[in-house]
Structure 1
Amino acid sequence: MHLYRQFYVYILASKLGGTLYVGVTNDLMGRVSLHREGLGAAFTAKHKVSTLVYYEVHEEIEQAIRREKQIKRWKRAWKVRMIEECNPNWDDLFSRLV
């Protein structure tokens, strides 16, 4: 039996226009919860990066990892533009996941 899984590329921010973090996971709610508790990554804990401002869904982990690496290589302005195209106010999208 093949279980359907989704994989997520996500961007967290410290605040509007603040520090950004790009990650990949198969459990977006769980992973963002860890970041919020200061357990997700040393970088996010140190810089208080915990607001989910962008995410996208992928069906294959390879796709998601490739996309995460692509976004990480982008200039900051490109990341900001992508966030603001779908989330102009940098609202916290975490509550929409629940």
Structure 2
Amino acid sequence: KSKEEQEEEEEEENEAVKNDNAEYDDEGNLIICQLNKKRRVTIQDFKGKTLVSIREYYTKGGKELPSAKGISLTEEQWSALRKNVSAIDTAVKKMQSRIM
């Protein structure tokens, strides 16, 4: 996808969340995006804390449920990751240039 297409998709997703037209999973977690057929990024409330979760999902009894495979980040951890996205992007590009 082009950068323009990605930005357009991000804007649509942001609008859906703002307008509460968002999609929720079978456990009530807000689905931010689907990374592939089995993986999703969700926002959930766990014991009074807001978590950003990146998890694999499975089907059981007709319901899509999050598996133990994945990671849940607190708001502080999410903030630390966001601050380092540029460094991660740079490292990924360096690694790709070594491989190619």
TM-score, normalising length: structure 2: 0.28
Higher relative contact order (CA closer than 8 Å, sequence separation 6+): 1
- Which of the two has higher C-alpha Rg? 2
TM-score, normalising length: structure 1: 0.29
